Amino acid sequence: MDKGKNSRPVPLTKQNTKDVGEFFSHWQRYQKISSANYLFQKESSAILQRFISDNFIWGFSIMDLGCGDTGAMSKILRESTIEKYTGVDLSPVALRLAENNLKKLHCEKNFICGDFLNYVQSPGLEADIVWLGFSLHHLPMHQKEKMLVFCRSILGFHGYVIIYEPLLKENESVENYLRRWWKICCTWKVLSDSEKEEARWHAMRDDHPESLSTLEKIGLASGFKYVERLYKSPNEHCHLVCFRT
C-alpha cells in the first residue's frame, strides 16, 4: 500500500464559497460545545480509542462519514495501526481542516467532498470500520435503513459500524426529545443566547433521532449480527453504539 497517497479535497470556488460563512458560524459554535465537553466526547473518544486498539492489533481502514474537521478523530487514531483513512463531507472547508488535522497520520488518506449517503453506494468500497459521529440522526428513517444496508456491504467478516449520536429514550416522542435537549442546551454557559437559538433551530429542523431498540431492529434487518451500546453519556443524551458484522 502506498502510504503517501492522498486524495485531496476539491478547491474552493466562487460557487461553493458562498457557504463558507455559514460553515464557520456552525463550526465555531460546535468548537465551543466540544471544548467544554458538553457532548462528553472526551469519554466517548477514550472508549472508541480503546475499542479500536483491542480489536485491531494489525492494520485497518476506517471510513469517516460526515467527518467534519476530524479534530477528535485525529487524536483517536494517532497511536493506532491504521493503514487507510477515508473522510467524506459535504464541506470543502471542513475537508481542508481535516487534511491539516490528519497531516501527521502516517497512512493512505482520501478526502471526498460529497453526500455520504450517495458515497456509500459507490461500487467497490471496503472498510473495517465505518464511523458516523453526530451524522446518522440527521437522516430520516428510510435513509437510515438504506445507509446501514450499504454500510454492511462495505464491511468484511470482521467489521463494525460505530456511531456516536443523540438517541430517543424508549417510547419517547421526538417532541419530548427536543424539549429534553433544549433543557440541556440551556445549561451550556459558553454559548450566547443567539447561539443557543441557532442550535435549537438546527435541532428542530434536522434532528431525526431513534431509540436504541429501533436502531437494533434496523441493524439486524440490515445484516448485522448484533448491536450493542458501548457508552451512554451521564445526561443520557449521547450514545456510542456499535453494529457488528
Query: Using CB atoms within 10 A of its CB, is residue 76 exposed (0-12), middle (13-18) or buried (19+)?
Result: buried
132: which DSSP letter?
A: E
C-alpha cell at 10: 476539491
Assigned domain for 2 exists:
no
Query: Which residues on neighbouring strands pair with residue 168, listed in sequence order?
Result: 211
The range of the structural domain enclosing residue 60 comes to 22-244
Cβ atoms 82, 62 nearer than 8 A: yes
Assigned domain for 5 exists:
no
pLDDT of residue 28: 80
pLDDT of residue 115: 95
Our count of domains for the chain comes to: 1
Assigned domain for 15 exists:
no
Cβ atoms 208, 139 nearer than 8 A: yes
Query: Which residues on neighbouring strands pair with residue 211, listed in sequence order?
Result: 168
Assigned domain for 87 exists:
yes
CATH number at residue 114: 3.40.50.150
**Which residues have C-beta within 8 Å of that of residue 171, sequence separation ≥ 6?**
211
pLDDT of residue 22: 57
Instruction: Name the CA dihedral angle for 211, 212, 213, 216, rounded to a multiple of 10 degrees.
Output: 130
**Which residues have C-beta within 8 Å of that of residue 242, sequence separation ≥ 6?**
51, 160, 161, 162, 227, 228, 229, 230
Assigned domain for 201 exists:
yes
Assigned domain for 39 exists:
yes
Burial code (b: 16+ CB inside 10 Å, e: under 16) for 171-200 equals eeeeeebbebbeebbeebeebeeebbeebe
pLDDT of residue 133: 95
pTM of whole model > 0.75? yes
Assigned domain for 177 exists:
yes
Parts of the chain with a pLDDT under 50? 1-5, 9-18, 21
Assigned domain for 16 exists:
no
C-alpha cell at 6: 492522498
- Render pLDDT for 30-39 as a digit per residue (tens, 0 to 9): 889 999 999 9
pLDDT of residue 12: 45
pLDDT of residue 24: 52
Three-class secondary structure of residue 86 per DSSP: strand
